[in-house]
Chain A
Amino acid sequence: SQQGEEDPQALSIQEGENATMNCSYKTSINNLQWYRQNSGRGLVHLILIRSNEREKHSGRLRVTLDTSKKSSSLLITASRAADTASYFCATDVQGNKLVFGAGTILRVKS
């Protein structure tokens, strides 16, 4: 069974709009990470938030973490067509490996 589950499974928005993806997980974590995967490519690390952090920013990305609810959200502001990709959350369980969710497919229409 997967540790992390993203919601929604797919999201379609217009360029310039904000995109929000959510991730829920089951067990205690050391950190939670978000990755992007363009079609046919490998995953690219976007941002890492530690269990003692509540919010983190990187450019147009904003990640929040609520350990009491075992959930995280990724917000992409002012989306661009180039943001079209699959987004995965991954949790660092037991400190030595990442467990990935099934991903959210984001389509940004221009």
Chain B
Amino acid sequence: NAGVTQTPKFQVLKTGQSMTLQCAQDMNHNSMYWYRQDPGMGLRLIYYSASEGTTDKGEVPNGYNVSRLNKREFSLRLESAAPSQTSVYFCASTLSVRGGYTFGSGTRLTVV
């Protein structure tokens, strides 16, 4: 009963470094999402993939890229990390775009 698995759980990067956040779901969900959560801001959508083979920008896509590797996996890449990208990142998935989402436990990223 894994649900949505995110790795890593914690990461510290230096400004300018790159990294990829991994997300995998085992519920055969069609749609997957990447959000970031900052204090007092709620969750903001970075990118999403409504179905395998498609990706679209969300509210705050600048500085990020995504790959929908297959139906199970949706990765988020930071090419050149900036302190403004310090945040908690959540991956989510849903069977139907009009249904409830299942969230992962998050990746806490600090850029120094």
Contacts and interface: CB of A to CB of B under 8 A. Distances in A.
Contacts of B110: none
Contacts of A44: 103
Interface in B1-46: 4, 31, 33, 35, 40-45
A45 B102 contact: yes
B100 A97 contact: no
Contact of A88 (B40, B43, B48, B97): B43
B112 to A, nearest CB: 21
A97 B41 contact: no
Interface residues of A, number: 22
What does DSSP make chain A's interface, helix, strand, loop or mixed? Answer: strand
A99 interface: yes
Interface string A58-93: 000000000000000000000000000000100010
Contact of A42 (B44, B90, B99): B90
B45 A45 contact: no
A41 B58 contact: no
B101 A45 contact: yes
A33 B44 CA distance: 16
Nearest to A2: B42
Given A41-B105, A42-B90, A96 B97 contact: yes
B58 A97 contact: yes
